[in-house]
Amino acid sequence: MTAENEFTVTPYSVDGEIDYEKLLEQFGADQLSNDQITAFPDPVHPLVHRNVFYAERDIDRFLSAVNTGNPHSIVTGRGPSGPIHIGHVLPFYFAKYLQEQTNALVYIPVSDDEKYFLKEMSLEVIGAHTRENLLDLLAVGFDPDRTRIIVDTADGDVVYPLATAFAKAVTQSTIEATYGEPANIGLSFYPAVQATHLLLPQLIEGRHPTLVPIAIDQDPHIRICRDIADKQRYDVDKPSALLSKFLPSLAGPGKMSSSDDAPSILLSDDREAVFEKIRAHAYSGGQSTIDEHRDLGGDPERDTSFQFLSYFFEADDERLERLAQEYRDGSLLSGELKDIAAENIADFLERHQERRRQLGSLVDELPAYRLTDAERKRARQRVGFLDEELF
Protein backbone atom coordinates (compact mmCIF):
# COMPACT_ATOMS: atom_id res chain seq x y z
CA MET A 1 0.00 0.00 0.00
CA THR A 2 1.20 3.50 -0.77
CA ALA A 3 1.14 6.23 1.84
CA GLU A 4 -2.05 7.79 0.52
CA ASN A 5 -4.08 4.58 0.66
CA GLU A 6 -2.88 3.12 3.94
CA PHE A 7 -5.57 2.46 6.52
CA THR A 8 -5.89 0.95 9.98
CA VAL A 9 -8.84 -1.06 11.23
CA THR A 10 -8.83 -2.52 14.75
CA PRO A 11 -11.50 -2.70 17.48
CA TYR A 12 -9.87 0.36 19.03
CA SER A 13 -8.81 2.47 16.04
CA VAL A 14 -10.10 3.14 12.51
CA ASP A 15 -8.07 5.51 10.34
CA GLY A 16 -7.75 6.27 6.64
CA GLU A 17 -9.87 5.49 3.60
CA ILE A 18 -10.67 1.80 3.85
CA ASP A 19 -10.23 -0.69 1.05
CA TYR A 20 -12.92 -3.18 2.08
CA GLU A 21 -11.78 -5.87 -0.33
CA LYS A 22 -8.22 -5.70 0.96
CA LEU A 23 -9.55 -5.77 4.52
CA LEU A 24 -11.29 -9.08 3.79
CA GLU A 25 -7.96 -10.51 2.68
CA GLN A 26 -6.31 -9.30 5.88
CA PHE A 27 -9.03 -10.67 8.15
CA GLY A 28 -9.72 -13.86 6.21
CA ALA A 29 -13.50 -13.36 6.03
CA ASP A 30 -15.67 -14.21 3.02
CA GLN A 31 -17.69 -11.97 0.74
CA LEU A 32 -21.44 -12.35 1.24
CA SER A 33 -22.71 -14.25 -1.80
CA ASN A 34 -25.85 -13.57 -3.81
CA ASP A 35 -27.29 -16.92 -2.68
CA GLN A 36 -26.73 -15.96 0.95
CA ILE A 37 -28.33 -12.54 0.40
CA THR A 38 -31.46 -14.09 -1.08
CA ALA A 39 -31.64 -16.58 1.84
CA PHE A 40 -32.42 -13.73 4.24
CA PRO A 41 -36.09 -13.16 5.11
CA ASP A 42 -38.15 -11.49 2.40
CA PRO A 43 -38.07 -8.55 1.98
CA VAL A 44 -34.29 -8.61 2.32
CA HIS A 45 -33.18 -5.68 4.45
CA PRO A 46 -31.45 -2.83 2.51
CA LEU A 47 -28.36 -3.17 4.71
CA VAL A 48 -27.97 -6.68 3.25
CA HIS A 49 -29.06 -6.38 -0.37
CA ARG A 50 -27.16 -3.10 -0.83
CA ASN A 51 -23.99 -4.76 0.50
CA VAL A 52 -23.51 -2.61 3.58
CA PHE A 53 -23.28 -5.95 5.35
CA TYR A 54 -20.86 -7.30 2.79
CA ALA A 55 -18.90 -10.11 4.45
CA GLU A 56 -19.53 -13.12 6.64
CA ARG A 57 -18.17 -15.95 8.71
CA ASP A 58 -20.05 -19.25 8.72
CA ILE A 59 -23.43 -17.61 8.08
CA ASP A 60 -25.04 -20.55 6.27
CA ARG A 61 -25.86 -22.39 9.52
CA PHE A 62 -27.68 -19.32 10.82
CA LEU A 63 -29.62 -18.85 7.57
CA SER A 64 -30.55 -22.53 7.56
CA ALA A 65 -31.98 -22.22 11.09
CA VAL A 66 -33.93 -19.12 10.05
CA ASN A 67 -35.43 -20.82 7.02
CA THR A 68 -36.30 -24.08 8.80
CA GLY A 69 -37.78 -22.40 11.87
CA ASN A 70 -35.13 -23.75 14.24
CA PRO A 71 -33.84 -21.77 17.26
CA HIS A 72 -31.41 -18.96 16.50
CA SER A 73 -30.18 -15.79 18.14
CA ILE A 74 -28.54 -12.46 17.39
CA VAL A 75 -25.91 -10.64 19.44
CA THR A 76 -24.97 -7.03 18.81
CA GLY A 77 -23.65 -4.68 21.47
CA ARG A 78 -22.82 -1.15 22.47
CA GLY A 79 -19.79 0.48 24.09
CA PRO A 80 -21.13 3.47 26.05
CA SER A 81 -18.37 6.05 25.53
CA GLY A 82 -20.70 8.87 24.48
CA PRO A 83 -24.06 9.64 22.86
CA ILE A 84 -25.30 7.25 20.19
CA HIS A 85 -25.06 8.53 16.60
CA ILE A 86 -26.81 7.23 13.51
CA GLY A 87 -23.88 4.99 12.58
CA HIS A 88 -24.06 3.22 15.95
CA VAL A 89 -27.77 2.50 15.82
CA LEU A 90 -28.04 0.77 12.43
CA PRO A 91 -27.13 -2.76 13.69
CA PHE A 92 -29.81 -2.48 16.38
CA TYR A 93 -32.54 -1.60 13.90
CA PHE A 94 -31.30 -4.47 11.74
CA ALA A 95 -31.51 -6.84 14.72
CA LYS A 96 -35.03 -5.61 15.44
CA TYR A 97 -35.98 -6.31 11.82
CA LEU A 98 -34.68 -9.88 12.07
CA GLN A 99 -36.46 -10.36 15.39
CA GLU A 100 -39.74 -9.28 13.81
CA GLN A 101 -39.20 -11.42 10.70
CA THR A 102 -37.88 -14.61 12.33
CA ASN A 103 -38.77 -14.44 16.05
CA ALA A 104 -35.06 -14.41 16.85
CA LEU A 105 -33.69 -14.01 20.34
CA VAL A 106 -31.68 -10.77 20.58
CA TYR A 107 -28.90 -10.27 23.14
CA ILE A 108 -27.48 -6.76 23.61
CA PRO A 109 -24.29 -6.56 25.71
CA VAL A 110 -23.29 -3.10 26.96
CA SER A 111 -19.54 -3.05 27.58
CA ASP A 112 -19.11 -0.24 30.09
CA ASP A 113 -16.03 -2.00 31.50
CA GLU A 114 -14.23 -1.99 28.13
CA LYS A 115 -14.80 1.74 27.72
CA TYR A 116 -13.28 2.38 31.13
CA PHE A 117 -10.20 0.36 30.14
CA LEU A 118 -9.96 2.12 26.79
CA LYS A 119 -10.96 5.74 27.35
CA GLU A 120 -9.73 8.54 29.59
CA MET A 121 -13.14 8.72 31.27
CA SER A 122 -14.26 8.34 34.85
CA LEU A 123 -16.62 5.59 35.91
CA GLU A 124 -19.19 8.27 36.69
CA VAL A 125 -19.09 9.67 33.16
CA ILE A 126 -19.28 6.21 31.60
CA GLY A 127 -22.18 5.38 33.91
CA ALA A 128 -24.06 8.46 32.72
CA HIS A 129 -23.48 7.51 29.07
CA THR A 130 -24.62 3.97 29.86
CA ARG A 131 -27.95 5.17 31.25
CA GLU A 132 -28.61 7.42 28.25
CA ASN A 133 -27.56 4.72 25.78
CA LEU A 134 -29.88 2.20 27.42
CA LEU A 135 -32.86 4.49 26.91
CA ASP A 136 -31.99 4.77 23.22
CA LEU A 137 -31.67 1.00 22.93
CA LEU A 138 -35.08 0.56 24.54
CA ALA A 139 -36.52 3.12 22.11
CA VAL A 140 -35.59 0.88 19.17
CA GLY A 141 -38.58 -1.23 20.18
CA PHE A 142 -37.34 -4.77 20.81
CA ASP A 143 -39.69 -7.45 22.10
CA PRO A 144 -38.87 -7.77 25.83
CA ASP A 145 -39.87 -11.44 25.84
CA ARG A 146 -37.25 -12.16 23.15
CA THR A 147 -34.54 -9.67 24.15
CA ARG A 148 -31.91 -9.57 26.88
CA ILE A 149 -29.77 -6.52 27.67
CA ILE A 150 -26.61 -7.25 29.66
CA VAL A 151 -24.54 -4.49 31.29
CA ASP A 152 -21.11 -5.89 32.15
CA THR A 153 -20.62 -4.20 35.52
CA ALA A 154 -24.28 -4.59 36.55
CA ASP A 155 -24.40 -8.25 35.49
CA GLY A 156 -21.02 -9.28 36.85
CA ASP A 157 -22.58 -12.27 38.62
CA VAL A 158 -22.92 -13.98 35.24
CA VAL A 159 -20.38 -12.12 33.05
CA TYR A 160 -17.37 -12.63 35.32
CA PRO A 161 -17.77 -16.40 35.96
CA LEU A 162 -18.18 -17.06 32.24
CA ALA A 163 -15.26 -14.80 31.30
CA THR A 164 -13.14 -16.58 33.90
CA ALA A 165 -13.86 -19.91 32.22
CA PHE A 166 -13.11 -18.60 28.74
CA ALA A 167 -10.00 -16.60 29.70
CA LYS A 168 -8.08 -19.80 30.45
CA ALA A 169 -8.50 -20.85 26.81
CA VAL A 170 -6.69 -17.79 25.42
CA THR A 171 -2.97 -17.08 25.74
CA GLN A 172 -1.44 -13.64 26.11
CA SER A 173 0.52 -14.21 22.91
CA THR A 174 -2.77 -14.77 21.04
CA ILE A 175 -4.15 -11.51 22.43
CA GLU A 176 -1.05 -9.58 21.39
CA ALA A 177 -0.99 -11.17 17.94
CA THR A 178 -4.63 -10.20 17.43
CA TYR A 179 -4.79 -6.74 19.03
CA GLY A 180 -1.21 -5.62 19.55
CA GLU A 181 0.19 -4.98 23.00
CA PRO A 182 -2.70 -3.99 25.33
CA ALA A 183 -2.45 -0.70 27.17
CA ASN A 184 -3.51 -2.34 30.44
CA ILE A 185 -4.45 -5.72 31.87
CA GLY A 186 -8.13 -4.86 31.58
CA LEU A 187 -7.84 -4.85 27.79
CA SER A 188 -5.89 -8.11 27.97
CA PHE A 189 -8.81 -9.73 29.77
CA TYR A 190 -11.61 -8.06 27.82
CA PRO A 191 -11.67 -10.54 24.88
CA ALA A 192 -12.82 -13.19 27.40
CA VAL A 193 -15.68 -10.86 28.34
CA GLN A 194 -16.51 -10.35 24.66
CA ALA A 195 -16.56 -14.13 24.19
CA THR A 196 -19.03 -14.27 27.08
CA HIS A 197 -21.29 -11.83 25.24
CA LEU A 198 -21.24 -13.87 22.05
CA LEU A 199 -21.70 -17.30 23.62
CA LEU A 200 -24.22 -16.30 26.29
CA PRO A 201 -27.37 -17.08 24.22
CA GLN A 202 -26.23 -20.69 23.79
CA LEU A 203 -25.21 -21.05 27.43
CA ILE A 204 -28.72 -19.99 28.42
CA GLU A 205 -30.89 -21.53 25.69
CA GLY A 206 -28.75 -24.48 24.58
CA ARG A 207 -26.65 -25.01 21.47
CA HIS A 208 -27.98 -23.16 18.42
CA PRO A 209 -26.75 -20.86 15.61
CA THR A 210 -25.95 -17.30 16.71
CA LEU A 211 -25.39 -14.39 14.34
CA VAL A 212 -23.28 -11.36 15.26
CA PRO A 213 -24.08 -8.42 12.92
CA ILE A 214 -21.24 -6.03 13.61
CA ALA A 215 -18.96 -3.45 12.01
CA ILE A 216 -15.89 -5.07 10.53
CA ASP A 217 -13.52 -3.41 13.01
CA GLN A 218 -14.97 -5.71 15.69
CA ASP A 219 -14.09 -8.89 13.77
CA PRO A 220 -11.02 -9.68 15.95
CA HIS A 221 -13.40 -10.27 18.88
CA ILE A 222 -15.31 -12.74 16.70
CA ARG A 223 -12.13 -14.60 15.78
CA ILE A 224 -11.04 -15.01 19.40
CA CYS A 225 -14.52 -16.22 20.41
CA ARG A 226 -14.68 -18.69 17.53
CA ASP A 227 -11.31 -20.08 18.60
CA ILE A 228 -12.64 -20.59 22.14
CA ALA A 229 -15.78 -22.33 20.86
CA ASP A 230 -13.74 -24.48 18.50
CA LYS A 231 -11.85 -26.03 21.43
CA GLN A 232 -15.15 -27.81 22.30
CA ARG A 233 -14.71 -27.47 26.03
CA TYR A 234 -18.30 -26.20 26.19
CA ASP A 235 -21.48 -27.25 24.42
CA VAL A 236 -21.57 -24.31 22.00
CA ASP A 237 -21.20 -23.71 18.27
CA LYS A 238 -18.91 -21.07 16.84
CA PRO A 239 -20.95 -17.86 16.37
CA SER A 240 -21.52 -16.65 12.82
CA ALA A 241 -20.62 -13.12 11.82
CA LEU A 242 -22.19 -10.61 9.43
CA LEU A 243 -19.66 -7.83 8.89
CA SER A 244 -20.57 -4.32 7.78
CA LYS A 245 -18.90 -1.36 6.20
CA PHE A 246 -18.85 1.89 8.17
CA LEU A 247 -21.41 4.63 7.74
CA PRO A 248 -19.28 7.42 6.24
CA SER A 249 -18.26 10.47 8.18
CA LEU A 250 -19.94 13.72 7.23
CA ALA A 251 -16.46 14.92 6.28
CA GLY A 252 -16.06 12.22 3.64
CA PRO A 253 -15.02 8.58 3.27
CA GLY A 254 -14.21 6.94 6.58
CA LYS A 255 -16.00 5.92 9.75
CA MET A 256 -18.51 8.23 11.43
CA SER A 257 -17.27 8.78 14.97
CA SER A 258 -18.56 10.67 18.00
CA SER A 259 -15.03 10.90 19.42
CA ASP A 260 -13.14 12.78 16.70
CA ASP A 261 -13.34 16.27 15.20
CA ALA A 262 -15.79 15.39 12.42
CA PRO A 263 -19.39 16.17 13.35
CA SER A 264 -21.77 13.28 13.88
CA ILE A 265 -25.54 13.15 13.65
CA LEU A 266 -26.76 12.10 17.08
CA LEU A 267 -30.00 10.34 17.93
CA SER A 268 -30.85 13.39 20.05
CA ASP A 269 -30.45 15.90 17.19
CA ASP A 270 -33.56 17.84 16.21
CA ARG A 271 -34.57 18.55 12.61
CA GLU A 272 -32.81 21.92 12.53
CA ALA A 273 -29.54 20.39 13.77
CA VAL A 274 -29.70 17.62 11.15
CA PHE A 275 -30.18 20.07 8.30
CA GLU A 276 -27.47 22.36 9.63
CA LYS A 277 -24.91 19.54 9.97
CA ILE A 278 -25.61 18.05 6.56
CA ARG A 279 -25.75 21.37 4.70
CA ALA A 280 -22.55 22.64 6.33
CA HIS A 281 -20.47 19.49 6.61
CA ALA A 282 -21.65 16.65 4.33
CA TYR A 283 -18.96 15.82 1.80
CA SER A 284 -20.20 16.45 -1.75
CA GLY A 285 -19.59 14.28 -4.77
CA GLY A 286 -20.67 17.15 -6.99
CA GLN A 287 -18.77 19.78 -8.94
CA SER A 288 -17.44 23.08 -7.61
CA THR A 289 -20.03 25.23 -9.43
CA ILE A 290 -23.65 24.74 -10.46
CA ASP A 291 -22.80 25.16 -14.15
CA GLU A 292 -20.07 22.50 -13.94
CA HIS A 293 -22.40 20.18 -12.09
CA ARG A 294 -25.16 20.62 -14.68
CA ASP A 295 -22.59 19.83 -17.37
CA LEU A 296 -20.51 17.08 -15.76
CA GLY A 297 -22.79 15.65 -13.07
CA GLY A 298 -21.78 14.27 -9.69
CA ASP A 299 -20.53 11.00 -8.21
CA PRO A 300 -23.04 9.48 -5.77
CA GLU A 301 -20.49 6.90 -4.64
CA ARG A 302 -18.35 9.70 -3.19
CA ASP A 303 -21.22 11.80 -1.86
CA THR A 304 -21.95 11.44 1.87
CA SER A 305 -25.61 12.45 1.57
CA PHE A 306 -26.26 9.80 -1.06
CA GLN A 307 -24.36 7.21 0.96
CA PHE A 308 -26.56 7.93 3.99
CA LEU A 309 -29.62 7.32 1.83
CA SER A 310 -28.15 4.19 0.30
CA TYR A 311 -27.04 2.63 3.58
CA PHE A 312 -30.28 2.95 5.48
CA PHE A 313 -32.30 6.13 5.11
CA GLU A 314 -34.06 5.51 1.78
CA ALA A 315 -35.99 2.24 1.71
CA ASP A 316 -37.28 2.54 -1.87
CA ASP A 317 -34.76 1.02 -4.29
CA GLU A 318 -36.34 2.66 -7.33
CA ARG A 319 -36.24 6.12 -5.77
CA LEU A 320 -32.65 5.59 -4.71
CA GLU A 321 -31.60 4.62 -8.24
CA ARG A 322 -33.49 7.60 -9.67
CA LEU A 323 -31.66 9.97 -7.32
CA ALA A 324 -28.32 8.42 -8.30
CA GLN A 325 -29.07 8.82 -12.00
CA GLU A 326 -30.26 12.42 -11.61
CA TYR A 327 -27.12 13.22 -9.63
CA ARG A 328 -24.88 11.66 -12.26
CA ASP A 329 -26.56 13.54 -15.12
CA GLY A 330 -26.44 16.84 -13.24
CA SER A 331 -30.17 17.47 -12.94
CA LEU A 332 -30.02 16.95 -9.16
CA LEU A 333 -27.75 19.42 -7.36
CA SER A 334 -25.62 18.65 -4.31
CA GLY A 335 -27.65 21.03 -2.14
CA GLU A 336 -30.89 19.35 -3.21
CA LEU A 337 -29.47 15.91 -2.45
CA LYS A 338 -28.32 17.13 0.97
CA ASP A 339 -31.84 18.31 1.79
CA ILE A 340 -33.38 14.98 0.72
CA ALA A 341 -30.98 13.10 3.01
CA ALA A 342 -31.56 15.56 5.88
CA GLU A 343 -35.33 15.18 5.53
CA ASN A 344 -35.22 11.39 5.65
CA ILE A 345 -32.79 11.29 8.58
CA ALA A 346 -34.76 13.89 10.53
CA ASP A 347 -37.98 11.89 10.01
CA PHE A 348 -36.25 8.75 11.29
CA LEU A 349 -34.88 10.56 14.35
CA GLU A 350 -38.23 12.10 15.22
CA ARG A 351 -39.85 8.67 15.24
CA HIS A 352 -37.05 7.32 17.44
CA GLN A 353 -37.24 10.29 19.79
CA GLU A 354 -41.00 9.95 20.14
CA ARG A 355 -40.64 6.30 21.19
CA ARG A 356 -38.00 7.34 23.71
CA ARG A 357 -40.30 10.02 25.12
CA GLN A 358 -42.95 7.37 25.67
CA LEU A 359 -40.62 5.34 27.91
CA GLY A 360 -40.74 5.49 31.67
CA SER A 361 -37.61 5.51 33.82
CA LEU A 362 -34.89 2.87 33.45
CA VAL A 363 -35.99 1.50 36.84
CA ASP A 364 -39.39 0.81 35.32
CA GLU A 365 -38.41 -0.20 31.79
CA LEU A 366 -35.16 -2.18 32.00
CA PRO A 367 -36.19 -5.10 34.28
CA ALA A 368 -38.25 -6.71 31.51
CA TYR A 369 -35.06 -7.03 29.44
CA ARG A 370 -32.68 -8.31 32.10
CA LEU A 371 -31.55 -11.89 32.60
CA THR A 372 -33.70 -13.88 34.99
CA ASP A 373 -32.23 -15.67 37.99
CA ALA A 374 -32.84 -19.00 36.26
CA GLU A 375 -31.04 -17.82 33.10
CA ARG A 376 -28.05 -16.62 35.12
CA LYS A 377 -27.82 -19.90 37.00
CA ARG A 378 -28.14 -21.96 33.81
CA ALA A 379 -25.31 -20.06 32.10
CA ARG A 380 -22.98 -20.44 35.08
CA GLN A 381 -23.70 -24.15 35.38
CA ARG A 382 -23.01 -24.77 31.68
CA VAL A 383 -19.41 -23.61 32.07
CA GLY A 384 -18.92 -25.72 35.20
CA PHE A 385 -19.92 -23.62 38.20
CA LEU A 386 -21.93 -25.66 40.71
CA ASP A 387 -23.84 -22.52 41.72
CA GLU A 388 -24.37 -23.68 45.28
CA GLU A 389 -24.64 -21.30 48.21
CA LEU A 390 -21.15 -21.02 49.74
CA PHE A 391 -21.90 -18.69 52.60
**Beta-strand pair 53-57/240-244:** antiparallel
Residue of 26, 4, 3 lying closest to 253 (CA atoms):
4
d(CA 369, CA 242): 24
Residues 271-358, CATH architecture = Orthogonal Bundle (1.10)
pLDDT of residue 391: 53
* Predicted TM-score of the model (pTM): 0.93
3-state SS, 109-163, equals: EECHHHHHHHCCCCHHHHHHHHHHHHHHHHHHCCCHHHEEEEECCCCHHHHHHHH
Whole-angstrom distance, CA of residue 360 vs CA of residue 357: 8
Rounded to whole angstroms, the Cα distance separating 325 from 316 reads 14
Burial 54-91 (b: 16+ CB within 10 A, else e): bbbbbbebbbebbeeeebbbbbbbbbbbbbbbbbbbbb
Is a pLDDT exceeding 50 seen at residue 384? yes
Residue 282 pLDDT exceeds 60:
yes
Q: Which of 337, 347, 319 is nearest to 86 (CA)?
A: 347
Q: For position 97, what pLDDT does the model report?
A: 96
Residue scoring higher pLDDT (21 or 262): 21
Domain ranges of the chain: 20-244, 271-358
pLDDT in tens, 100-159: 999 999 999 999 999 999 999 999 999 999 999 999 999 999 999 999 999 999 999 999
For 20-244, CATH number? 3.40.50.620
Computed over its alpha carbons, how large is the radius of gyration of the chain?
21
Backbone angles phi, psi at 212, to 5 degrees: -115, 95
> Which residues, including other chains, have CB under 8 Å from residue 315's CB and lie 6 or more apart?
46
**DSSP bridge partners of 73:** 105, 210
Taking CA atoms, 202 is separated from 48, 68, 196, 205, 221, in Å, by 25, 18, 10, 5, 17
For residue 367, count other CB atoms closer than 10 A to its CB. Answer: 9
pLDDT exceeds 70 at position 5: no
